[in-house]
Amino acid sequence: MKSNTSRRIVLASTSPRRQELIASLHIPYEIHPSHVDEHTPKEWSPEHIVEELSLRKAQAVYAEIADPGEDAVVVGSDTIVVLGDEVLGKPADDEDAFRMLKSLQGRTHQVYTGIACIDAANGQTQVRHRMTLVTMKELSDAQIKAYIKSGEPSDKAGAYGIQGLGAILVERIEGCYFTVVGLPVSLLSDMLPEFGINVL
């Protein structure tokens, strides 16, 4: 197993939030967007959804760069918000964002994020996930509309971003904050030694 001095991470995502979190680990990395079908059967559990979609993203990039001489680990990640038995993905439009945010008011929901790692040299694969509980404050319709007007909800699961203006919507969380942002870095750091990368 090679040391972490030469190995790099290939992040299968265009998410600026995931890029910032990967950069914080001080490991060489590059961005390689994946374009995959994100539809999943309705009967799948949240854990199954995020692990499968993370794997799909990582596999799509692995298929493009796989090479025995490639000294890299492909990392794919996916996040969903679950309220009761409803999975909330990215809102289709402002109306959909309003519906999602209105349904989350004063309630506790779950945020699941999956991570898939694939060794670009040999295809070795590991997939895991984390879940965090998030409790939202009660907001007026006017406050929800003002938040939507900021543009922040448009590309985020559950129509909010905890690391931005959306932080003011959240009353409390139980679990890993970075799971809600979109990449549980402590979980990733636990997975990477299997691929010869030690963060510390």
**Exposure string (b/e) for 18-33, b if CB count within 10 Å is 16 or more?**
beebbeebebebebbe
Domains in the chain: boundaries:
8-195
What are the tens digits of pLDDT across the range 61-92? 999 998 998 999 999 999 999 999 899 988 99
Q: Is 78 a catalytic residue?
A: yes
Q: Which amino acid is at 20?
A: E
What are the tens digits of pLDDT across the range 141-200? 999 999 999 999 998 999 999 999 999 999 999 999 999 999 999 999 999 999 999 998
pTM for this prediction: 0.93
Please pick, among 37, 67, 71, 78, the residue that the annotation labels catalytic.
Answer: 78
- Asked whether the CA dihedral 110, 139, 20, 96 is positive or negative, the reply is positive
Helix axes 141-149, 94-104, angle to 10 degrees: 130
The CATH T-level fold of domain 8-195 is: Maf protein (3.90.950)
